[in-house]
């Protein structure tokens, strides 16, 4: 069970949130080649370690959050607002 | 129902009918009280960058500041509940159909968007000395007086359903705001949780 410290609502249970995937990918420009769009939609790194992810607080404040989570231990290091850029630990 | 038929004046009657008057569940303990409040519910969302204007307009019209995250303001005549950044519920005793929404819209003008949620949401009141004990069985929000209390608001899940909890007083009295369409399922879970200590419907 993951507990996420929502910047708006405080410490909440994972069940209130909806996982929305990798928060580091950015949409290519409108004239980018098809390959860039393919990577944007499908290609993910799936790292073992720290990962910046979108978590949508669907049963709480309905805000998208950036969560820095370790994919092996599930430790949550940072929870930030969507407009922020959270620091990612090197190890 | 024909299209021209006006909206019912009793949007919460079907939810209220789910509670049968009398004592239910365990006896001899400390029963909690359950009721359905007949209220008007309006959702106010400040438009982009206009939260301060909306707050000033509500202050001028109703005399209180819109609450910060996790809190409520006002009183039983009109309460404001924080539900999301720059978003609030405004709750008042049931009046003329649509009147509260029109009044709030007239107050905030183009600083906010107003949606009447009176029919879409229902408010179930859980009160009594054991109310926190019953609610703690239903949700994972920390309801201990050190973390929660009168004037506090939390949106969470109860019985897999979205629910906004508002503690109104230290009794304690909790308002549980749920989608009307899910109220029957919600009520089944809540009454089941309350049976262990007993509950009274007056």
Q: Which of these, B126, B158, B81, lies nearest to A16 by C-alpha position?
A: B158
Neighbours of B38 (CB within 10 A): 16
Q: Does the beta-carbon distance from A12 to B156 stay under 8 Å?
A: yes
B87-93 and B79-84 beta bridge pairing:
antiparallel
**CA–CA dist A62, A17 (Å, integer):** 9
Residue-range domain boundaries for chain A: 1-25+34-41+50-91
pTM flag (> 0.80) = yes
Residues of B in contact with A61 (CB under 8 A): 69, 83-85, 155
Nearest residue on chain A to B165, alpha-carbon basis: A60
Distance between CA atoms of A14 and B59, rounded to whole angstroms?
Answer: 36
pLDDT in tens, B181-193: 999 999 999 999 9
C-alpha to C-alpha distance for B40 and B90, rounded to whole angstroms: 8
ipTM: 0.88
- Residue B181 sits at the chain A interface (C-beta within 8 Å): no
- Tokens encoding B112: 């906010």
pLDDT (tens digit, 9 = 90+) per residue, B33-64? 999 999 999 999 999 999 999 999 999 999 99
Q: Do domains B13-38+120-201 and B40-116 have the same CATH topology?
A: no
pLDDT confidence of residue B8: 58
- The CATH class given to the B13-38+120-201 domain equals alpha beta
According to CATH, the superfamily of the domain at B40-116 is Heterotetrameric sarcosine oxidase (3.30.70.1520)
Q: What is the pLDDT of residues B86-124, one digit of tens each?
A: 999 999 999 999 999 999 999 999 999 999 999 999 999
The answer to whether B157 contacts A10, with C-beta atoms less than 8 Å apart, is: no
A1-25+34-41+50-91 — its CATH code? 3.30.2270.10
pLDDT band (50, 70, 90) for residue B4: low
Q: Which residues 59-78 of chain B have a CB within 8 Å of chain A?
A: 69-70
- Mutation pick from A1, A2, A5, A8 vs chain B, by most beta carbons of B within 10 Å, is A8
For the cut 70, the answer to whether the pLDDT of residue B7 exceeds it is no
Are residues B184 and B192 in contact, defined by beta-carbon separation less than 8 angstroms?
no
Interface size, chain A vs chain B, as Cβ–Cβ contacts under 8 Å = 35
Name the residue ranges covered by the structural domains of chain B: 13-38+120-201, 40-116
A44, B27, B165 from A22: Cα distances, Å: 8, 53, 31
């Amino acid at each position: 069970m993951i507990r996420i410290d929502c910047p708006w609502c405080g410490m909440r249970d994972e069940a209130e949130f909806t996982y929305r995937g990798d928060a580091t990918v950015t949409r290519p420009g409108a004239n980018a080649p098809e390959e860039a769009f393919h990577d944007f939609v499908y290609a993910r790194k799936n790292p073992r370690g720290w990962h910046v992810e979108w978590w949508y607080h669907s049963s709480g404040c309905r805000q998208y959050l950036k969560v820095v989570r370790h994919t092996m231990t599930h430790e949550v290091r940072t929870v930030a607002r969507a407009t922020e850029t959270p620091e990612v630990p090197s190890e | 129902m024909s299209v021209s038929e006006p909206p019912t004046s009793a949007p919460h009657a079907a939810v209220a009918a789910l509670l049968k008057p009398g004592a239910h569940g365990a006896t001899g303990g400390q029963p909690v009280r359950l009721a359905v409040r007949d209220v008007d519910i309006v959702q106010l969302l400040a438009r982009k960058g206009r939260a301060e204007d909306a707050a000033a307009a509500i202050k001028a019209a109703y005399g209180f500041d819109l609450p910060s995250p996790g809190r409520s303001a006002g009183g039983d005549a009109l309460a404001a509940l924080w539900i999301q950044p720059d978003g609030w519920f405004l709750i008042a005793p049931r009046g003329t159909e649509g009147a509260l929404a029109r009044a709030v819209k007239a107050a905030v003008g183009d600083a906010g968007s107003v949606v009447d949620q009176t029919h879409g949401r229902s408010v179930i009141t859980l009160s009594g000395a054991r109310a926190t004990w019953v609610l703690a069985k239903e949700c994972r929000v920390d309801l201990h007086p050190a973390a929660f209390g009168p004037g506090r608001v939390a949106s969470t899940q109860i019985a897999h359903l979205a629910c906004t909890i508002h503690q109104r007083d230290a009794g304690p009295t909790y308002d549980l705001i749920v989608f009307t369409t899910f109220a029957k399922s919600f009520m089944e879970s809540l009454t089941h949780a309350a049976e262990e200590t007993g509950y009274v419907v007056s």
